[in-house]
């Protein structure tokens, strides 16, 4: 994981949308800086001043590493 000194906080509105998706259990397609993931957000956490999304596949993703998120239509 990257050091927290390089962390760039995300917009509050974006964080709020992640919380809504977590509450609704929405399946999401994440485009990260270096890969793609399909998963649901279980919860959002802060560790050492860095915000993360904990996903239902047990991965933890830094919020500033997310380039784009789209809902997966089932």
- Any idea what the CATH number is for the domain that residue 28 is in? 2.30.30.100
- Four-point Cα dihedral 52, 38, 15, 8, nearest 10: 50
Query: What is the block-wise mean pLDDT of the chain (74 residues), using blocks of 10 residues?
Result: 74 97 98 96 96 96 97 91
pLDDT given at position 43? 98
Q: Can you tell me the distance from the alpha carbon of 1 to that of 18, in angstroms, rounded to the nearest whole number?
A: 21
What is d(CA 64, CA 14) in angstroms, rounded to the nearest whole number?
Answer: 11
pLDDT value of position 4 = 65
Q: How far apart are CA 42 and CA 8, in angstroms?
A: 22
Give the three-class secondary structure for 19: helix
Domain span at residue 19?
4-71
Q: How many domains does the chain have?
A: 1
> Tokens for 10?
């995300």
């Amino acid at each position: 994981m990257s050091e927290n000194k390089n962390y760039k906080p995300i917009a509050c509105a974006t964080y709020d949308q992640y919380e809504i998706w977590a509450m609704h259990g929405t399946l999401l397609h994440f485009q990260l800086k270096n890969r793609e993931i399909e998963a649901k957000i279980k919860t959002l956490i802060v560790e050492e001043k860095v915000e993360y999304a904990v996903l239902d596949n047990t991965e933890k993703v830094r919020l500033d590493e997310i380039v784009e998120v789209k809902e997966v239509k089932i």
